[in-house]
Amino acid sequence: MPDPNGFLRYDRRLPARRPVPVRIMDWREVYPPAGEELTREQATRCMDCGIPFCHDGCPLGNRIPDWNDLVRTGGWDAAVESLHATNNFPEFTGRLCPAPCEAACVLGLGGQQPVTIKQVEVEIADAAAARGGLRPQPAPAPTGRSVAVVGSGPAGLAAAQQLARAGHAVTVYERDDALGGLLRYGIPDFKLEKRHVDRRLAQLAAEGVRFRTGVDVGVDVTAEQLRAEHDAVLLACGALQGRDTPETPGRALRGVHQAMAHLVAANRVVAAAGEGQPALATLPDGTPIDAAGKHVVIIGGGDTAADCLGVAHRQGAAGVHQLDLYPEPPADRDAARDPWPTWPWVLRSYPAHEEGGDRVFAVAVQEFVDDGTGQVRAVRIAEVTVEKVDGRRIVTALPGSEREIPADLVLLAIGFEGTEDQPLLAQLGVTRNGRGAVDARPDWQTGADGVFVAGDMHRGASLIVWAIAEGRAAAAAIHAYLGGVGTLPAPVDPARQPLAAR
Ligand SMILES: Cc1cc2nc3c(=O)[nH]c(=O)nc-3n(C[C@H](O)[C@H](O)[C@H](O)COP(=O)(O)OP(=O)(O)OC[C@H]3O[C@@H](n4cnc5c(N)ncnc54)[C@H](O)[C@@H]3O)c2cc1C
Ligand code: SF4
């Protein structure tokens, strides 16, 4: 019986983040481990409320009260078993998930702070890894069927693990030189050190998953060849088509880049340093892209923008401004707009924000200003209001509000427009919908029979927890398509949406 009064005895507490002056000198993770005592204390705050809305908040349906109580009572081995029953990679979500489960925690109903669910999750996963508890679970017998997974992000990897454990021969194709999708070269090490990704990849390899890196499917291998070699294909190619702003004057100036160009270059430098190879942050064509000594302007307010901010601090930027089109959100949930247990619109500050930089809300760039040599020297911004009219966004600049912000490096982190239009799609006869995503039938098949889709490629740019949930569900559908014995868990269907007030 869980402790019904734990939340009355203990306040919500997270481990202290590493001090800012220390952590911006390196690329290591911001949070140190919480340790057993704090984790147990915080797990005790879960009262096992009886109708755990956190289950619905989590797309994976993680059995949160179960593992909270197991941690409280010291049952760490059973806790990780319970966690792995619904989540292939809790060390990724425990570090990176925005935790919609916490927004849905029943403690929030009574005005209490939610349980630190994702922190408990990561501690369980890390403790298991430290004890050597991420042992491979190879299938007892092969089925003789084979599956190609295109893309090695969390969706592709979750599906690959589920299918390999069910006995199918799985090959993951990845066009990058290293595996992990956005976990590898998109998300910086200060949020996720890559040893966690490598440890899981070793587990998958030991379970029989074959990996082929440096293979751009549709270019290096045709879709026809892939279909001839495999009984089913899963597309998990992500939603990497960055939104741009070609209409803004000065967009073509040197120094104005997509955010991902900056992040990938920086992450590659960190990866090379880990192998003892000094490297410069450059674009694929060799152009340097580094924030050292520069005035940086980041346009956008989400995860990507915050990651650029943290990278700019670590590269030694002279100053950073982060611009957001929308007004500053409130500090607390507006219950009329976003009632519990839905995901609230509130001001979200990432650890990168406490490291420095200025956030400017309700502004839009009017022009990237030329220094006379074709290099950006400033951005001209105006204060704006944003309205939705017939589903369209109308941005109105306030007259007389324009001003300049110095800028040597401008990073566009204004979202993604779905999956890239690439040869693979035409070869398969698969088309993108109006959002740039690929539709799935209720059984996760695309318009092409035997070709399935999961993750950001289906959902549009989203979250790791959704990618894993869709990867698991698509694996279950592929297993059924291949006539596999029994069923695999399918936490979501293709139409599933986050919790919302109706
Ligand atoms: C900068 C940034 C920070 C983020 N931070 C967070 C966060 O903190 N928390 C969170 O929950 N989410 C975060 N996200 C979102 C999260 O990373 C994605 O939702 C998730 O990675 C999607 O997983 P996926 O497997 O669908 O695709 P991806 O991770 O995008 O992987 C797709 C893979 O497919 C490969 N591929 C594409 N086409 C081909 C082809 N033809 N042949 C072979 N390979 C191919 C790509 O190279 C890529 O490796 C962030 C996203 C970005 C961009
Ligand atoms: S995966 Fe995300 S939503 Fe699910 S329990 Fe973990 S932190 Fe919460």
pLDDT at 409: 98
For the stretch 29-59, pLDDT in tens is 999 999 999 999 999 999 989 889 999 999 9
Mean pLDDT of 369-382: 98
Ligand 2 centroid vs 470 CA: distance in angstroms?
14
- Altogether, the residues listed in the chain come to a count of 502
301 — pLDDT class (breaks 50, 70, 90)? very high
User: Residue 438: in which H helix or E strand, if any?
Assistant: none
pLDDT surpassing 90 at residue 499: no
Ligand 1 centroid vs 191 CA: distance in angstroms?
15
**Cα separation, 493 vs 442, whole angstroms:** 7
The answer to whether 361 touches 348, Cβ cutoff 8 Å, is: no
Residue spans of beta strands (DSSP E) within 300-440: 319-323, 358-360, 363-370, 376-389, 392-397, 403-406, 409-412
Structure tokens at 357: 């930089």
Residue spans of beta strands (DSSP E) within 420-472: 451-453
For the stretch 187-206, pLDDT in tens is 999 999 999 999 999 999 99
Ligand 2 centroid vs 53 CA: distance in angstroms?
12
Asked if residue 470 has its Cβ within 6 Å of ligand 1, the reply is no
| Residue 365 backbone phi and psi in degrees, to 5 | -75, 130
Ligand 1 centroid vs 56 CA: distance in angstroms?
24
88-92, 105-109, 418-422: lowest mean pLDDT where? 105-109
Q: Which ligand is closest in space to the CA of residue 154? A: 1
Ligand 1 centroid vs 24 CA: distance in angstroms?
25
| Residue 158 backbone phi and psi in degrees, to 5 | -65, -45
CA 310 → CA 262, 263, 269, 294, 354, distances in Å?
12, 10, 15, 14, 10
User: Residue 194: in which H helix or E strand, if any?
Assistant: helix 194-206
Structure tokens at 368: 């990237």
pLDDT at 223: 97
Burial of 129 (0-12, 13-18, 19+ CB in 10 A): middle
175-184, 270-279, 371-380: lowest mean pLDDT where? 270-279
Asked if residue 118 has its Cβ within 6 Å of ligand 2, the reply is yes
pLDDT at 2: 80
β-strand partners of 323: 299, 360
Ligand 2 centroid vs 120 CA: distance in angstroms?
10
Q: Which ligand is closest in space to the CA of residue 123? A: 2
Mean pLDDT of 99-123: 95
Residue with the smallest CA separation from ligand 1 atom 14 is: 463
Pairing relation of β-strands 146-150 and 232-235? parallel
Alpha helices in 64-116 (DSSP H): 64-72, 76-84, 90-96, 100-103
Mean pLDDT of 168-187: 98
Q: What is the DSSP letter of 107?
A: G
Q: Which ligand is closest in space to the CA of residue 235? A: 1
Ligand 1 centroid vs 158 CA: distance in angstroms?
13
Residue with the smallest CA separation from ligand 2 atom 3 is: 58
Q: Which atom of ligand 1 is nearest to the CA of 263?
A: 1
44-53, 209-218, 243-252, 299-308: lowest mean pLDDT where? 44-53
pLDDT at 502: 66
For the stretch 229-282, pLDDT in tens is 999 999 999 999 999 999 999 999 999 999 999 999 999 999 999 888 888 899
Structure tokens at 231: 């009984």
Ligand 2 centroid vs 492 CA: distance in angstroms?
14
The answer to whether 406 touches 378, Cβ cutoff 8 Å, is: yes
pLDDT surpassing 70 at residue 108: yes
Ligand 2 centroid vs 80 CA: distance in angstroms?
14
Ligand 1 centroid vs 113 CA: distance in angstroms?
31
Above pLDDT 90, what percent of the chain?
94
Question: Which residue from 463, 480, 479 is spatially nearest to 59, judged by alpha carbons?
Answer: 463
Question: Which residue from 462, 424, 458, 418 is spatially nearest to 441, judged by alpha carbons?
Answer: 458
pLDDT at 440: 98
Side chain identity at residue 101, one-letter code: C
CB atoms within 10 A of CB 373: 8
Q: Which atom of ligand 1 is nearest to the CA of 454?
A: 26
Q: What is the DSSP letter of 322?
A: E
Mean pLDDT of 417-421: 97
Asked if residue 153 has its Cβ within 6 Å of ligand 1, the reply is yes
Q: Which atom of ligand 2 is nearest to the CA of 64?
A: 5
3-state secondary structure (DSSP) of residue 183: helix
- Tally the C-alpha atoms within 13 A of residue 325's C-alpha that lie toward its C-beta: 17
CB atoms within 10 A of CB 102: 24
Mean pLDDT of 340-346: 93
The answer to whether 188 touches 307, Cβ cutoff 8 Å, is: yes
Q: Which ligand is closest in space to the CA of residue 463? A: 1
Pocket test for ligand 2, best of 66, 101, 116, 470 (most atoms within 8 A of CB): 101
Question: Between vectors from CA 51 to CA 45 and to CA 56, what angle results, nearest 5°?
Answer: 95
Q: Which atom of ligand 1 is nearest to the CA of 470?
A: 26
CA 208 → CA 9, 132, 161, 165, 168, distances in Å?
47, 19, 9, 8, 9
Above pLDDT 70, what percent of the chain?
100
Asked if residue 121 has its Cβ within 6 Å of ligand 2, the reply is yes
**Cα separation, 396 vs 405, whole angstroms:** 20
pLDDT surpassing 80 at residue 1: no
Question: Between vectors from CA 314 to CA 311 and to CA 317, what angle results, nearest 5°?
Answer: 85
Pocket test for ligand 2, best of 14, 62, 64 (most atoms within 8 A of CB): 62
Pocket test for ligand 2, best of 31, 60, 192 (most atoms within 8 A of CB): 60
Side chain identity at residue 123, one-letter code: E
CB atoms within 10 A of CB 452: 27
Q: What is the DSSP letter of 288?
A: B
Ligand 2 centroid vs 477 CA: distance in angstroms?
23
Question: Which residue from 414, 412, 413, 408 is spatially nearest to 254, judged by alpha carbons?
Answer: 408
Mean pLDDT of 399-405: 98
Asked if residue 405 has its Cβ within 6 Å of ligand 1, the reply is no
Q: What is the mean pLDDT of the chain?
A: 96
Question: Which residue from 106, 115, 120 is spatially nearest to 11, judged by alpha carbons?
Answer: 115
Upstream peptide bond of 491 is cis (omega within 30 degrees of 0) = no
The full DSSP string for 261-281 is: HHHHHHHHHHHHHHTT-----
Residue with tokens 């997270």: 14
Pocket test for ligand 2, best of 46, 97, 191 (most atoms within 8 A of CB): 97
Ligand 1 centroid vs 263 CA: distance in angstroms?
13
The full DSSP string for 16-35 is: PPPPHHHHTTS-S-SSPP--
Q: Which ligand is closest in space to the CA of residue 456? A: 1
Residue with the smallest CA separation from ligand 1 atom 2 is: 304
